[in-house]
Amino acid sequence: MIKLAGIGDTAAFCTLLCLLLTLVVFKLKTATSSRHNAGVNLPPGPWALPVIGSIHCLLGSLPHHAMRELSRRYGPVMLLRLGHVQTLVLSSPEAAREVMKTHDAAFATRAVTPTASILTYGARDIVFAPFSKHLRELRKLCTLELLSPRRVRSFRHVRDEEAARLARSVAAAAPAVVNVSEVVKIMANNIIMTAIIGDTCPQREEYLEALDKTMDLLNGFNLVDLFPGSRVARVLGARSLRETKRVHQKLHQITDTIIQGHGIKDDDSVGDGNIRETVGAHHHMHGHGHKCEDILDVLLRFHRDGGLGITLTKEIVSAVLFVRSFRCWLRDYIYNNNLGHVRTRKDSPGDGASTI
């Protein structure tokens, strides 16, 4: 029998034993995964470290730039292992067309992280909803109404008005220096928010602030999202999930107020989150007498008149509204980060950048 000399030796022995057990468990999981993937032709990707996988490849404030560099090395179809989650990254139009159109049914159901589940009312939106009648009806709504050429043309006067307002503000600022990225961001936000919730909504700035906080949460690496089956990750990530729920509740309250501002209120007699109209259809008047039905108006009209194979509850309307706002906000976020990158190159002398 081995006799330990003291408390220090006991602590060292326990530490060594825990380390060995951890390595054994990891080895068993790796062997199981290898047997499961045997014979499967997986896409290429960066070398994965134990436990964390390829997370180290995406560290930094601009992970989409890191993915761009990785795609240049491994090709347009790349597999990343983020913790215990395998993620397929597509970086070419051809690859995206294969997945999103040709083989849409095979890829339509996506893994839903705890963070995404909270923010989308349990995956009731159009991005994370599983392939089902619910998803097909939401896609039909987006294709025929929300993203149709007619709908885009209906907001042309909004774009014209905001472009004219931008030109006037830049001209009025002369000869002072104008922050181009800031004024373009303001113009883009005005166009986006007018198209989604209207130009007379008093909660626009509050809604954008809530989207900012949501972006911060989705940009971060939540342990629960990366290690969904780990009890330790659930404990360590509990604080982040509580913050996500708090931000989502705030966004839900703002959205509820916006819906009420469009003449809609809760129908307490239904009890399943349905909504009903209390006044006539809500339209926004713009310059030259244009009547404009925003995206929220369209969603509420389909709830009132039907025409879909599903019932548009308030939660579904809020989830679709959030995704539309967030996707537009994300494009604006990337655009402004790229502008900042260009401005930095321009302000750095002697870096060999002759073209902006």
The predicted pLDDT at position 270 comes to: 34
CB-CB contact of 291 with 280 (8 Å): no
Whether residues 307 and 186 share a domain: the answer is yes
251-304 per-position pLDDT tens digit: 888 888 888 887 654 443 333 444 444 333 445 544 444 556 888 888 888 878
Whether residues 140 and 226 share a domain: the answer is yes
Whether residues 168 and 261 share a domain: the answer is yes
Is residue 253 one of the residues assigned to a domain?
yes
Whole domain around residue 222: which residue ranges?
133-268+294-340
The predicted pLDDT at position 211 comes to: 80
Dist CA 337 CA 334 (whole Å): 5
Whether residues 80 and 168 share a domain: the answer is no
Average pLDDT over residues 20-38: 51
Is 334 or 211 the better-scoring residue by pLDDT? 211
Dist CA 218 CA 251 (whole Å): 14
On average, the pLDDT of the chain sits at 75
Whether residues 75 and 197 share a domain: the answer is no
Is residue 137 one of the residues assigned to a domain?
yes
Is residue 217 one of the residues assigned to a domain?
yes
Whether residues 159 and 230 share a domain: the answer is yes
Whether residues 316 and 237 share a domain: the answer is yes
Which DSSP letter does residue 128 get? Answer: S
Please report how many Cα atoms fall inside a 13 Å half-sphere around the Cα of residue 355, on the Cβ side: 0
Q: How many domains does the chain have?
A: 2
Dist CA 260 CA 279 (whole Å): 10
